[in-house]
């Protein structure tokens, strides 16, 4: 069909960034991008998943689970770095897919990224409200559970943090980067404080055995909430090396967000140099912090006794350092603040690119004349996320964030191979090594982690994609820039009478 051949060339994508009404300000450096990456990766994962995976899956070897997940993300990050430096345009995986697979797949991946970014921001905002409630309780101020926390019916703190971060994003990318830098400095300092203090309370016996003996899987929830890989006949146990690998599929989600660095490509002063540095630098730094924290937690308290909801606070309480509960809550609150903002930054840039390509109403792509930000789509994104965070229970939907991210990683990995074959002439400031082996391994690793997600998550993913296909057929296919170009190409020139 004609639509399958609608491929937007790299040159067209770059040319669109120079249109006056769509031109974004280039204010970001490599350091700014690294800070963005750290700002979105370090969230609740470092305060919660470190203990959960150690207790339920890997034991003290949870640190190895983080390393495996970091390597899988690193493979995808290399693919992102090549694309982002070759196609320095807002939109990340959406823009990359447009240049390789065509408009139809680009729409699917753009629609898919809503799962990672908008839904992710709403989920994190609800978590932010919960940590605020806990912190205020620690100092003697109680907020009603009906308006704050994860069980709130009308979550006012979640709405307020989303609206505040929306305002920061509208006022300029440089201001956003400065706010993020301050927040990141606070939470990294707290993480380092946890590691440095915790080292003095380690017990060698807690590391033995480092990899606990494998145990068969217990009776889980069964049915559609079981991992898809189990329904396909592959039984998963706990502990042992199988548990370590299974734990990697869980802690992988603590790394979600490094790909958002690529969405800021169009606002980077030297994208060919700074984007690979920002993507890979933030990922390496966060992996080291995750490994250090996981080793400290299991060294302070036996992995079988770790708390499921607050393992860090529980570990410090077990050695008599109860005051650290408040410090950890401050770190988590700071961490989640930057996560909310950067997820909305990524979402607004993806939707901005889609609107500029007229797959969504083009009026949404208007750039503010003073601040140089896509203010209309940013405000619209903020309002939608605020409604979701304030009113919608997100426990079940949050799992969809994970499958959406992995699907994007998979397509970008395959896209590197496709673009290498179709456009070998393109200048590439950064090149993925060991092609085709490395992108293939990256794609397979992402798919394997997808198989470890519950089957009902896959079902919801299919339903969400079906809705997206409906929107594409009813609006986007007919209104896109490339549709208009195709119509003009098929329209014959009017005959000119001979004079």
Look at residue 491 in the predicted model and tell me its pLDDT.
57
258-295 per-position pLDDT tens digit: 777 777 777 888 887 888 888 888 889 999 999 999 99
**In the 3-class helix/strand/coil scheme, how is the chain assigned residue by residue?**
CHHHHCCCCHHHHHHHCCCHHHCCCCCECHHHHHHHHHHHHCCHHHHHHHHHHHHHHHHHHHHHHHHHHHHHHHHHHHHHHHHHHHCCCCCCHHHHHHHHCCHHHHHHHHHHHHHHHHHHHHHHHHHHHHHHHHHHHHCCCCCCCCCCCCCCCCCHHHHHHHHHHHHHHHCCHHHHHHHHHHHHHHHHHHHHHHHHHHHCCCCHHHHCCCCCCCECCCCCCCHHHCEHHHHCCCCCCECHHHHHHHHHHHHHHHCCCHHHHHHHHHHECCHHHHHHHHHHHHHHHHHHHHHHHHHHHHHHCCHHHCCCCCHHHHHHHHCCCCCHHHHHHHHHHHHHHHHHHHHHHHHHHHHHHHHHCCCCCHHHHCCCCCCCCCHHHHHHHHHHHHHHHHHCCCCCCHHHHHHHHHHHHHHHHHHHHHHHHHCCCCCCCCCCCCCCHHHHHHHHHHHHHHHCCEHHHHHHHHHHHHHHHHHHHHHHHHHCHHHHHHHHHHCCCCCCCCC
The answer to whether position 1 is within a domain reads no
With 70 as the cut, is the pLDDT of residue 493 above it?
no
Average pLDDT for 2-13: 71
The answer to whether position 338 is within a domain reads yes
The answer to whether position 307 is within a domain reads yes
CA distance 467 to 195: 46
Give 118's Cβ-side CA count (13 Å radius): 24
90-133 per-position pLDDT tens digit: 777 888 888 888 899 899 989 988 877 888 888 888 888 887 88
Identify the band that residue 134 occupies on the pLDDT scale cut at 50, 70 and 90. Answer: confident
Angle (deg, nearest 10), helices 455-471 and 398-422: 60
> Rg (Cα) of the chain, in Å, rounded?
23
The answer to whether position 149 is within a domain reads yes
223-246 per-position pLDDT tens digit: 566 667 766 666 666 788 888 887
The answer to whether position 455 is within a domain reads yes
With 70 as the cut, is the pLDDT of residue 347 above it?
yes
CB atoms within 10 A of CB 304: 11
With 60 as the cut, is the pLDDT of residue 322 above it?
yes
The answer to whether position 271 is within a domain reads yes
Look at residue 220 in the predicted model and tell me its pLDDT.
47
Mention every residue, 6+ apart, whose C-beta is less than 8 A from residue 198. 296, 297, 299, 300, 315, 316
Q: For the chain, give the mean pLDDT.
A: 83
Above pLDDT 90, what percent of the chain?
24
392-451 per-position pLDDT tens digit: 765 555 566 778 888 888 988 999 999 899 888 888 888 999 999 999 999 998 898 888
How many domains are contained in the chain? 1
The answer to whether position 288 is within a domain reads yes
Look at residue 144 in the predicted model and tell me its pLDDT.
84
- Which residues form the domain of 448? 22-484
With 60 as the cut, is the pLDDT of residue 185 above it?
yes
CATH number at residue 263: 1.20.1740.10
With 50 as the cut, is the pLDDT of residue 256 above it?
yes
156-183 per-position pLDDT tens digit: 999 999 999 999 999 987 778 888 888 8
The answer to whether position 17 is within a domain reads no
């Amino acid at each position: 069909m004609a639509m399958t051949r609608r491929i937007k060339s790299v040159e067209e994508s770059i040319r669109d960034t120079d249109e006056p009404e769509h031109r974004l300000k280039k204010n970001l450096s490599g350091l700014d991008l690294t800070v963005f990456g750290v700002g979105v990766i370090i969230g609740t994962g470092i305060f919660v998943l470190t203990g959960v995976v150690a207790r339920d899956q890997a034991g003290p070897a949870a640190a190895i689970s983080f390393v495996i997940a970091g390597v899988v993300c690193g493979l995808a990050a290399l693919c992102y770095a090549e694309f982002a430096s070759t196609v320095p345009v807002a939109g990340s995986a959406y823009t990359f897919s447009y240049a390789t697979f065509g408009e139809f797949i680009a729409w699917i991946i753009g629609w898919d990224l809503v799962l990672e970014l908008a839904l992710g921001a709403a989920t994190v905002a609800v978590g932010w409200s919960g940590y605020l409630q806990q912190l205020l309780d620690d100092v003697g101020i109680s907020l009603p559970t009906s308006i704050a926390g994860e069980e709130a019916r009308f979550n006012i703190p979640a709405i307020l943090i989303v609206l505040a971060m929306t305002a920061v994003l509208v006022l300029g990318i440089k201001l956003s980067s400065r706010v993020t830098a301050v927040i990141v400095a606070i939470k990294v300092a707290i993480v380092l404080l946890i590691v440095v203090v915790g080292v003095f309370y380690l017990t060698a016996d807690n590391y033995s055995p480092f990899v606990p003996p494998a145990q068969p899987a217990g009776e889980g929830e069964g049915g559609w909430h079981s991992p898809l890989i189990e329904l396909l006949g592959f039984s998963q146990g706990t502990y042992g090396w199988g548990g370590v690998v299974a734990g990697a599929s869980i802690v992988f989600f603590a790394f979600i967000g490094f790909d958002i660095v690529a969405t800021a490509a169009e606002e980077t002063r030297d994208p060919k140099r700074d984007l690979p540095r920002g993507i890979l630098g933030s990922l390496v730094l966060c992996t080291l912090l995750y490994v250090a924290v996981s080793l400290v937690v299991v060294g302070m308290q036996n992995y079988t006794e770790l708390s499921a909801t607050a393992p860090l606070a529980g570990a410090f309480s077990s050695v008599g350092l109860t005051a650290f509960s408040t410090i950890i809550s401050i770190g988590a609150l700071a961490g989640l603040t930057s996560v909310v903002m950067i997820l909305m930054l990524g979402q607004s840039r993806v939707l901005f690119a889609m609107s500029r390509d007229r797959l969504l109403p083009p009026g949404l792509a208007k750039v503010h004349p003073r601040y140089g930000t896509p203010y209309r789509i940013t405000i619209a994104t903020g309002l939608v996320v605020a409604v979701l965070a304030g009113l919608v229970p997100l426990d079940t939907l949050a799992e969809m964030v994970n499958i959406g991210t992995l699907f994007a990683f998979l397509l970008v990995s395959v896209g590197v191979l496709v673009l290498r074959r179709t456009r070998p002439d393109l200048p590439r400031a950064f090149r993925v090594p060991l092609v085709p082996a490395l992108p293939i391994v990256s794609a397979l690793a992402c798919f394997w982690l997808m198989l470890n997600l519950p089957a009902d998550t896959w079902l919801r993913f299919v339903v969400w994609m079906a809705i997206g296909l409906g929107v594409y057929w009813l609006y986007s296919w007919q209104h896109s820039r490339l549709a208009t170009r195709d119509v003009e190409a098929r329209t014959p020139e009017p005959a000119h009478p001979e004079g």
